[in-house]
Amino acid sequence: MRFRKLKQQSKQKHEKQSQPTKAIPARTVDRIKAFITDMFMIYAPILYVITYVFLGSKEEFQASDLAPFMGVTLYGIVYILLLVKLGQTPGKKAYGIKVVDAKSGENISYIQALTRFITFLFSATIVFGLLLPFYRKDNKTLHDLLAGSVVIKDEKE
C-alpha cells in the first residue's frame, strides 16, 4: 500500500509539472499598436516599392486597379510567413505579444495563418470583428475565433 501511495504522489507531481502554464491574453491596446507598427514597417515599404519602383509615380498607382491588390497580397504573404515561422510580426515583437494556436500553444499553421489573414480583411470591412475583443474576456477577435488562434503575451519578453 505504501508503494501505491508513493506512485500516486509521483504521478500527481508529474502531471502538475507537465501542465502548460495558462497563457495571458494580449491587451487590445498592444494589439492595435502592433498593427499600426506593422503597417509602417511592412505594408508602407511594399506600397512604396510598387508605387515608385514598378509603376514610377503615385498617379500610376492611383490609376491602377491591380497595384493595391498586389500590395495587400504581398503584405499577406509576408505576414503569413512571419506568423508561421516566428509567431510574431515586427510590431507584435515590439509590444511583446505572439500569435499561437489556441489548443496547443505552438505557432500556427499555414492554413490557420491564411484563414486568419483573410478573415481579418473581412472583419476589418464589417468592423464588428474588430470590436469583438472589447466584449470578450479573452480578447479574441473574429479572425482569432475562426482561425483557432489566440494572441498572448510572449513569455520571453
- pLDDT tens digits for 40-72? 999 999 999 999 999 999 999 999 999 999 999
Contact 25, 152 (CB under 8 A): yes
Contact 32, 8 (CB under 8 A): no
Task: Report the C-alpha gap between 47 and 53 in whole angstroms.
Answer: 10
Average pLDDT, the chain: 87
Task: Report the C-alpha gap between 119 and 117 in whole angstroms.
Answer: 6
Locate 16 and state its grid cell. 502538475
Q: Name the band, by pLDDT with cuts 50, 70 and 90, for residue 147.
A: very high
Task: Quote the pLDDT of residue 156.
Answer: 72
pTM: predicted TM-score of the whole model, two decimal places: 0.80
Task: Report the C-alpha gap between 7 and 139 in whole angstroms.
Answer: 41
> Looking at per-residue confidence, does 4 or 107 come out higher?
107
